[in-house]
Amino acid sequence: MRVMAQLAMVMNLDKCIGCHTCSVTCKQAWTNRSGVEYVWFNNVETRPGQGYPRRYEDQERWRGGWALTRRGRLRLKGGGRLRKLLTIFSNPKLPGIDDYYEPWTYDYDTLTNAPAQEHTPVARPRSLLSGEPTRITWSANWDDDLGGSPDHGDRDPLLKGIADKVKFEFERTFMFYLPRICEHCLNPSCAASCPSGAIYKRTEDGIVLVDQDRCRGWRMCVSGCPYKKVYFNHRTGKAEKCTFCFPRVEVGIPTVCAETCVGRLRYIGLVLYDADRVLAAATTPDDQDLYEAQRRVFLDPNDPEVVREAELAGIPGDWITAAQRSPVHALINEYEVALPLHPEYRTMPMVWYIPPLSPVVDVVRDTGHDAEDHGNLFAAVEALRIPVEYLAQLFTAGDVEPVNAVLRRLAAMRSYMRDLNLGREPQEAIPAKVGMTGRRLYDLYRLLALAKYDERYVIPPAHAEQAHGLEELATECSLDYEGGPGMGGSGPFGEGSGGTSPIAVENFRMLRDRQTTDTLAAPVDKGNRVNLLNWDGKGRPEGLFPPGDRPGGGDPAGEVEPKP
Amino acid sequence: MTESPSTLDIMLWVVVPYVAIAVFVLGHVWRYRYDKFGWTTRSSQLYESRLLRLGSPLFHFGILVVAVGHVGGLLVPKSWTGAVGIGDTAYHVVAVVLGVLAGVCTLTGAAILVYRRRTVGPVFSATTRNDKVMYVLLVGTIALGLGTTVLGNLTDHPHDYRESVSPWFRSIFTFQPRPELMAAAPLGFRLHALAAWSLFAFWPFSRLVHVFSMPLGYLTRPYIVYRSRDARGQASGMSWPGPRSSAGRGPK
């Protein structure tokens, strides 16, 4: 047994209202730069739908992830090492910008510089790639809320597995949101596809990162990732991906997407797993056994032997305690309500989902039945074959049994809690039907409905003895790095060349640059305009106010008299 | 062999090569130290892949063969190939056929890529001035080389560069330069060599540095790379299927 720790996430899809706050805050934190306009480390998809990039789940086309050879050995679905090197000059499986969308901005100049005229001036869209006028035809969530509609829903690759016989019924019956970030897999195929070895998995917490100094822009990771969560920065020529907000989690605070989630549906915690069993689990012959196989790779952090092995492996004591308190471990292995996204890709994903019961509840309620009654709900789970089969395509490689079990458990919790809330005698028969006790069902309810911040996010900080080197603690001077304190902006070889700088410095520069530029494709003239989107209300970005004529004469904080 | 070479010949066939080599070597060292982040292929495949799928492999595989041919032709003395029983005629035929084939592939590929760069909007916007200089030098050098080979072989007595250019090239690296050899070579060879030196001098400052990132290590390294958060990279044996720590700077 070789114990390793992994930071993981669980999302409760029943609570997702599709508000995209996670996407927006993530974008503002991480991909708010030129070259990554089309990059969404976090995106929210309406399902059924095509997803982002379009139809990324169609692995017959994109060939991401792993597959078994005829002799039952694990290999990259996109081909072995030699094949990758031979196709390195033109990657045959790389999504084009059309599969994402062409990023655009608006020609605001025509508004702000318009002379007095009879007609209202219009800002037309301009491509951020070529600077030319463009037509907006797609975006990261263009099919938002259109789940199952004829134009979009039926292009969902997952619907291939479900016959379209009941399509019309299904169009009316269900739709849900699926927020996605990088899965930080135990067996990451992006890392395995990288010719340069620039993508690595951190030994301490399992976060998968791209070393920007080693990436050479071969693009194989983009093809290798079946979730298409590695993106190519088209200005720097380097791959970028979700970082699990490592500068935040290193100091014990949750990722930006989790922190800002309005529905509080995200859980972050550690799981301990046996690194020696990963390969065997990923090689499980039957796709439908992969969910169980991955669950068995996880170790019980309360098992004394596991604790001893973890200590031997150098995992600090507070990390082991955190693993014991981990909501992620509880949801995956104790309550067994969380399921992995597409286990059939064999990457052992580490962002899991509690499938939504709401499509089922909605149907029961719409038909006039009691949607809190466990009998009705159980019957509906059985009867609503299409939603359940669809969820199974997402989470269990098509095996409806585990999905059924989870939905029945959620239905039982709903039913059981109604009795409690109404002051009635709780019916112990309900939890018994789903193999639980009333006490555990109540605990599950607490975790899903009431859990506070420190129960939802159990993130042990990185270790004090290493802390002075961590990005955001900076007990060393933040500017104390090679080449610092450079405030130099771009190097001589184009955007972002030159040595690396700490994230804090980089963010500062980026914000400054963004505030003072709004040219379209190539910000050559970082002159005198300000981007209000990034202005946090503090300070006076240059160009925000016209020069001179300030009332009160030079007091920057002075109040401006309202004009009549 | 007594006539001493003119100043111009010394400039062109001694000074220029040494300056170019120095800039090439030191430039790469400096670039690697200073600009690891800018060391990339800067692929534009995201914007357009139909033309790229045709042009890029043509160009790259072509130029790989051309490079191997140059190594053979310039570094291996005539006497060695003779010693292993390869006759002059046989060598010449193979070299010309392979060379012209590879050269035509390379040039065709380059033409497609340049056309793509000019006509596809986003690719054109992403083209820097540096790229344009690089394209002129690179395509110019290739065209001069291919032209010299093709035109030279159309005459009855093609110039045997293994008696002039190759010994001169080797003499540079043995620090006993013999500019008079090159001064006597036909104009095409001299122009090709000069274009090549200027390309080499520009090389470390262009995107061509990606040539030295040819990821051959991929064939032997373990699939999954593990690295410690610790910037010093002490992986402490915790890795699957084998540690691969690096002493590089921390993650970014």
Confidence of residue A183 (pLDDT cuts 50, 70, 90): very high
- Asked if A162 contacts A48 with a C-beta cutoff of 8 angstroms, the reply is no
Lowest mean pLDDT among A141-145, A394-398, B208-212: A141-145
Is A82 in CB contact (< 8 Å) with chain B?
Answer: yes
- Is pLDDT of B189 > 90? yes
What is the average pLDDT score of chain A? 85
Confidence of residue A496 (pLDDT cuts 50, 70, 90): low
DSSP A456-492: HB--PPPPHHHHTTSTTT-SS-TT-STT-S----SBT
Chain B residues inside the 8 Å CB shell of A522? 125
Nearest CA in chain B to A209: B251
Q: How many CB atoms within 10 Å of residue A308?
A: 13
Backbone angles phi, psi at B211, to 5 degrees: -55, -35
Question: Would you say B199 and B19 are in contact if contact means Cβ atoms under 8 Å apart?
Answer: no
Cβ A130 vs Cβ B124: under 8 Å? yes
Hey, are the CB atoms on A494 and B128 less than 8 Å from each other? yes
Q: Cis peptide leading into A195, omega within 30 of 0?
A: no
Q: Chain A partners of B205 at a C-beta cutoff of 8 Å?
A: 492-493
Q: A330-366: per-residue pLDDT in tens?
A: 999 999 999 999 999 999 999 999 999 988 888 788 7
Q: How far is CA A541 from the centre of its chain?
A: 32
Which residues in chain B have their CB less than 8 angstroms from residue A498's CB?
Answer: 34-35, 37-38
Chain B residues whose CB is inside 8 A of the A81 CB are 218-219
Distance from CA of B139 to the nearest CA of A (A): 18
User: Residue A271's pLDDT band (boundaries 50, 70, 90)?
Assistant: very high
DSSP state of A330: I
CA dihedral of residues A207, A210, A213, A218 (deg, nearest 10):
160
Prediction pTM value: 0.85
Distance CA B55, CA B32 (A): 28
Q: Do A202 and B227 touch (CB under 8 A)?
A: yes
What's the pLDDT at A562? 47
Look at residue A369 in the predicted model and tell me its pLDDT. 82
Out of B35, B59, B240, closest to residue A493 by CB: B35
* pLDDT value at A561 more than 60: no
Contact A275 B49 (CB under 8 A): no
Helix axes B16-34, B165-173, angle to 10 degrees: 60
B200 CA: distance to closest CA in chain A (Å): 17
Secondary structure in 3-state letters for A346-390: CCCCCEEEECCCHHHHHHHHHCCCCCCCHHHHHHHHHHCHHHHHH
Nearest to A213 among B37, B56, B125 (CB): B37
Residue of chain B whose Cα is closest to the Cα of A312: B238
State phi, psi for B24 to the nearest 5 degrees.
-60, -50
Which ipTM did the prediction report? 0.86
Cα–Cα distance for residue pair A127/A485, rounded to 1 Å: 35
- B82 has a pLDDT exceeding 90: no
| Cα(A107)–Cα(B219) distance, integer angstroms | 48
- The answer to whether residues A436 and A411 touch, using CB atoms and an 8 Å cutoff, is no
Averaged pLDDT, B174-191: 93
User: Residue A231's pLDDT is what?
Assistant: 97
DSSP string, A416-461: HHHHHHTTPPP-THHHHHTT--HHHHHHHHIIIII--HHHHB--PP
* pLDDT-above-90 percentage for chain A: 63
Q: Which residue of B has its CA nearest to A501?
A: B252
Contact by Cβ (8 Å): A323, A329: yes
Chain A nearest-CA distance from B188, in A, is 31
Confidence of residue A144 (pLDDT cuts 50, 70, 90): confident
CB contact under 8 A, A192 and B215: no
- Best mutation target among A213, A215, A476 (most B Cβ atoms within 10 Å) is A213
Cβ-based contacts of B221 with chain A (< 8 Å) = 197
The residue type of A180 is R
Question: What pLDDT does A509 receive?
Answer: 63
Between B153 and A519, the higher pLDDT residue = B153
User: Which chain B residue lies closest to A83 (C-alpha atoms)?
Assistant: B219
